[in-house]
Structure 1
């Protein structure tokens, strides 16, 4: 079996809020992978004493543990249990009801000789490679289906001159509109302190014989497709499988640098985003 992982911070002056791990049980049967993208909070109060990377480390560690030790649990059960466990570690010191309490996107995959199970929550991506060479992208696309008024604010912001005060003000309005829809009915969902969010995740099962490899990417690595349009998800998977996860991240960094050098505004207000990729091939 081939397993490769790579991650790179968006900025050296702050911690990487992405998290990835692979767990292979001592029995030698099956395994699991975890990929989280910590949600960077605005520079104001989050109601929590802890950082986002503290949260992703604790949640990711529990997901990895449960996914191999509790094969009787579904992936949704595992996510809900891991969220509750992580919340219990700091609910006495922090306001977990705060809308920007530490949170993350989630990709969780578990496999054995018979099947491959998967779970995706929010805008990280899972790619499944089939026996005939086809690549399926498993996406939670609720961020792409927000109300039209939010999309109009986004487009209005992008149309304004880079660096202008009007762009900054319209951008703040757009961000506030998106934030108001976080973990709400009709909005989008991330793993924070409420275990019931696990019921919102996209899940599925494939026969193991129909999947020869998987790749999970945070949106910082997914910029290859979603932002820079360097190819489709099959092209993205091909880069990972042939050149390795770090090569994909390096390509994205080069695209980000070229984008900035052209005088364009940073993508999603971030010149570089934390990026992580994990690849498993049977």
Structure 2
């Protein structure tokens, strides 16, 4: 099965496509780790960011595959679904992709196990007259429409984590971060893909129907001009380190490139390791910047 292009720290280009959407991307694992469990991709008019859920060492998942395998297969299946049904909704194609990846496991895994590989999903699709988007779990999308900057956030994981945070806080203060991370993942998985919990791409295609979706115009005074798709490792620049607001993040990515955003997060992780609210010292970080219309396009 074809895999999605890695798109690590490079500019994306699509040969033969009309110049309607320019895309730049950056994706990098934390310093000292070779494996990147994020994936950024582009298939024609569809761009996306996937963030595979990190599994603590020794954590039982019921599966012989890991997060990197899952995000690569999910991206490839999304591309195939879009090619086969370009007029279908993003929700429908995501559900089809999740179901196809379920088959990719080959019957070797317990796909009902709460630890089964999973991923957040952030998608943007240029339809010519409109742009569709989908956000599932904590990979936010920043939109510049008509000069107004909005952010699409699925905060259900954060709400669930806040409800369960007391479990980790019961641990002694001397407990190392690895143990805290393991405990956090264990209690978090208790609410994965459940009502009153949070939803993420895993083995159940029904999760796609719980995504946050919307459409913005491609032309006119409220047209979409710029967009940034983020994994939570990159959105930490705003949400955890407070380096700037969402508008500032968009400007940094537009003027300096997605690489610059990742570099700023890395600097913040080094300078303020105590400000990470999660149980990781650093995280995979990915950003995809989309610009609509060439400089001489007035977007009428």
Q: Same fold (TM over 0.5)?
A: yes
Q: In the superposition, relative to structure 1, how do residues 68 and 108 fare at CA in structure 2: closer, same or farther (>3 Å)?
A: farther
Q: How does 1:87-106 map to 2 (within 5 A)?
A: 87-106=102-121
Partner of 2:137: 122
Partner of 1:252: 265
Length, aligned pairs only: 268
Counterpart of 2:272 in 1: which secondary structure?
Answer: helix
1:269 paired residue among 276, 279, 285:
279
Matched, 1:139 2:149: no
1:206 paired residue among 211, 216, 226:
216
Larger proportion of helix: 1
Partner of 1:21: 41
Q: How does 1:42-57 map to 2 (within 5 A)?
A: 42-43=56-57, 44-57=59-72
Matched, 1:150 2:164: yes
Cα displacement (A) at 1:168: 7.6
Cα distance in 2, alignment partners of residues 75 and 40 from structure 1: 25
Q: Which runs of 5+ in 2 are unaligned?
A: 1-20, 293-300
Cα displacement (A) at 1:166: 8.8
1:180 paired residue among 173, 183, 190:
190
Q: In the superposition, relative to structure 1, how do residues 68 and 211 fare at CA in structure 2: closer, same or farther (>3 Å)?
A: farther
Q: In the superposition, relative to structure 1, how do residues 5 and 144 fare at CA in structure 2: closer, same or farther (>3 Å)?
A: same
Cα distance in 1, alignment partners of residues 47 and 279 from structure 2: 30
Q: In the superposition, relative to structure 1, how do residues 170 and 33 fare at CA in structure 2: closer, same or farther (>3 Å)?
A: closer
Q: Cα deviation per residue 1:134-160 (whole Å; 9 max; x = unaligned)?
A: 111011111232386424446x469x7
Q: Cα deviation per residue 1:20-77 (whole Å; 9 max; x = unaligned)?
A: 11122xxxxxx11011000012322211111211110010112123234422211110
Q: In the superposition, relative to structure 1, how do residues 229 and 60 fare at CA in structure 2: closer, same or farther (>3 Å)?
A: same
Q: In the superposition, relative to structure 1, how do residues 137 and 145 fare at CA in structure 2: closer, same or farther (>3 Å)?
A: same
Root-mean-square deviation (Å): 2.3
Cα displacement (A) at 1:203: 0.4
Partner of 2:9: none
Partner of 1:86: 101
Counterpart of 1:165 in 2: which secondary structure?
Answer: coil
Q: Which runs of 5+ in 1 are unaligned?
A: 25-30
Confirm or deny: 8 A CA contact 2:74 2:101 kept in the other structure.
yes
Q: In the superposition, relative to structure 1, how do residues 74 and 230 fare at CA in structure 2: closer, same or farther (>3 Å)?
A: same
Cα distance in 2, alignment partners of residues 88 and 58 from structure 1: 11
Report the TM-score when normalising by structure 1. Answer: 0.87
Cα distance in 2, alignment partners of residues 147 and 266 from structure 1: 14
2:126 paired residue among 106, 111, 114:
111
Confirm or deny: 8 A CA contact 2:241 2:275 kept in the other structure.
no
Partner of 1:12: 32
Cα displacement (A) at 1:98: 1.1
Counterpart of 2:193 in 1: which secondary structure?
Answer: coil
Partner of 2:49: 35
Cα displacement (A) at 1:274: 0.3
Confirm or deny: 8 A CA contact 2:124 2:131 kept in the other structure.
yes
Cα displacement (A) at 1:207: 1.3
Matched, 1:223 2:223: no
Confirm or deny: 8 A CA contact 2:181 2:280 kept in the other structure.
no
